[in-house]
């Protein structure tokens, strides 16, 4: 498969080390993990260690058996359909006062749509300025770029356009953080349709983290393609078996990609199998979030959107920095298109990764607040 151009959807400096480094990715339920569990930090302001609970470790060891048990496939699909029917019929979401475990919910109403637009319309200059700041020595920002891939990972494309593959889960609070940055960045190259809202699980660390969901959404761009896979639901975990229900099963090709590259040398053996997982046309890979912000836990969706677009707090600056790194990496695979975006990205920030030379540019200071 190496070197083949194909779509995963089936159908369709060194950056200076910072204290703590990149947050280690939480193991996804489909892969066994030998990591020990740990609790969220108790020290105020301490950087979180994204580790799964012991109960979730059991979940991750057992989930793979579900996918390998072909005889139970129809039963699993039927069960998911019933659960989804209940969720969708309930309507609403965190913005309307329903449970944080309600699953995906429509981002409707004038206020919510205005907040979505604010997330999508954060200026490129602000994203780049914060990414530049995040790459500086002794930075106070935690966001980091993706890793540059080595060897000959398969290039993916849809309709002749380089593909960005995202695999995550709605229960996962680290995926929740990453989606905000992804929507900010990808909106500079194309248009999302059908984005929903969701929250991370109420029983995981940083419970009820509000975010977007890529489930049943679509993305249109002249320059790149995007495939989002929300593997697991955010509720319905079987507490006796530790298994999360499937929301959107990856294709066999997507499973091959994540099983091959969500592993050393891109992540330690003990941390392999983590999500979120972002595979950018075989050029860059992300295992775990670019940043983690605990302030979002239990927030209403619209409040989180306003916080992350304010431009004057650590949460918004980290999200924008993460999005700025993504913009630079996307410009590297889109051949610098569109020029209206990529011309704003300093040369040293295009294609920057954790193995790139330290950037030497200084961009404008991001605006204190966006309208």
pLDDT tens readout for residues 291-325: 999 999 999 999 999 999 999 999 999 999 999 99
pLDDT tens by residue, 53-98: 333 433 443 343 333 333 344 333 334 343 334 333 333 444 433 3
pLDDT tens-digit map of 36-55: 222 333 333 333 333 343 33
pLDDT tens by residue, 230-271 = 999 998 888 887 778 999 999 999 999 999 999 999 999 988
Give me the pLDDT at residue 73, please. Answer: 42
**Least trusted range by pLDDT, from 163-177, 195-209, 347-361:** 347-361
Contacts of 232 by beta carbon, 8 Å cutoff, 6+ apart = 28, 29, 169, 170, 171, 172, 244, 245, 246, 247
Structural domain boundaries of the chain? Answer: 54-349
What residues form DSSP beta bridges with 107? none
Can you read off the two tokens belonging to residue 155? 């290039």
Mean pLDDT calculated for residue range 135-156: 88
Whether the Cβ atoms of residue 197 and residue 93 lie closer than 8 Å to each other: yes
d(CA 205, CA 101): 14
Q: How confident is the model at residue 232, as a pLDDT?
A: 94
State both tokens at 128: 């780049």
User: Do residues 302 and 113 lie in contact, with contact meaning Cβ atoms separated by under 8 Å?
Assistant: no
**Contact at 8 Å (CB) between 185 and 166?**
no
In this structure, what token pair is assigned to residue 349? 């920030």
- Over residues 326-359, the pLDDT tens digits come to 999 999 999 999 999 999 999 989 998 887 645 4
Distance (Å, whole) CA 187 – CA 50: 27
């Amino acid at each position: 498969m190496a070197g083949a151009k194909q779509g995963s959807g089936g159908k369709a400096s060194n950056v200076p080390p910072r204290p703590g480094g990149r947050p280690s990715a939480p193991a996804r339920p489909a892969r066994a993990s030998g990591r020990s569990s740990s609790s969220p930090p108790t020290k105020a302001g301490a950087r979180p260690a994204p580790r799964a609970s012991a109960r979730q470790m059991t979940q991750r060891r057992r989930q793979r058996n579900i996918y390998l048990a072909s005889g139970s496939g129809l039963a699993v699909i039927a069960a998911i359909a019933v659960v989804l029917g209940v969720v969708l019929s309930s309507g609403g979401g965190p913005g309307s006062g329903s449970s944080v475990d309600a699953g995906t919910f429509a981002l409707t109403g004038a206020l919510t749509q205005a907040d979505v637009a604010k997330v999508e319309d954060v200026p490129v200059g602000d994203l780049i300025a914060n990414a530049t700041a995040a790459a500086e020595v002794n930075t106070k920002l935690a966001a980091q770029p993706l890793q540059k891939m080595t060897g000959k990972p398969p290039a993916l494309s849809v309709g002749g356009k380089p593909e960005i593959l995202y695999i995550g889960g709605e229960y996962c609070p680290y995926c929740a953080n990453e989606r905000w940055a992804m929507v900010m960045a990808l909106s500079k190259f194309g248009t999302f349709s059908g984005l929903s809202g969701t929250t991370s699980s109420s029983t995981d660390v940083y419970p009820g983290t509000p975010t977007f969901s890529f489930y049943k959404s679509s993305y249109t761009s002249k320059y790149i393609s995007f495939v989002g896979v929300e593997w697991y639901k955010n509720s319905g975990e079987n507490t006796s078996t530790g298994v999360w229900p499937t929301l959107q099963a990856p294709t066999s090709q997507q499973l091959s990609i994540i099983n091959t590259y969500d592993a050393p040398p891109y992540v330690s053996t003990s941390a392999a199998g983590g999500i979120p997982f972002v595979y950018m046309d075989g050029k860059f890979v992300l295992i775990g979030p670019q940043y983690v912000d605990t302030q979002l836990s239990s927030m209403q969706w619209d409040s989180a959107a306003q916080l992350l677009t304010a431009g004057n707090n650590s949460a918004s600056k980290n999200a924008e920095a993460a999005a700025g790194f993504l913009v630079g990496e996307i410009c590297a695979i889109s051949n610098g298109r569109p020029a209206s975006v990529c011309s704003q990205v300093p040369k040293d920030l295009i294609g920057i990764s954790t193995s790139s030379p330290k950037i030497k540019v200084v961009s404008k200071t991001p605006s204190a607040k966006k309208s």
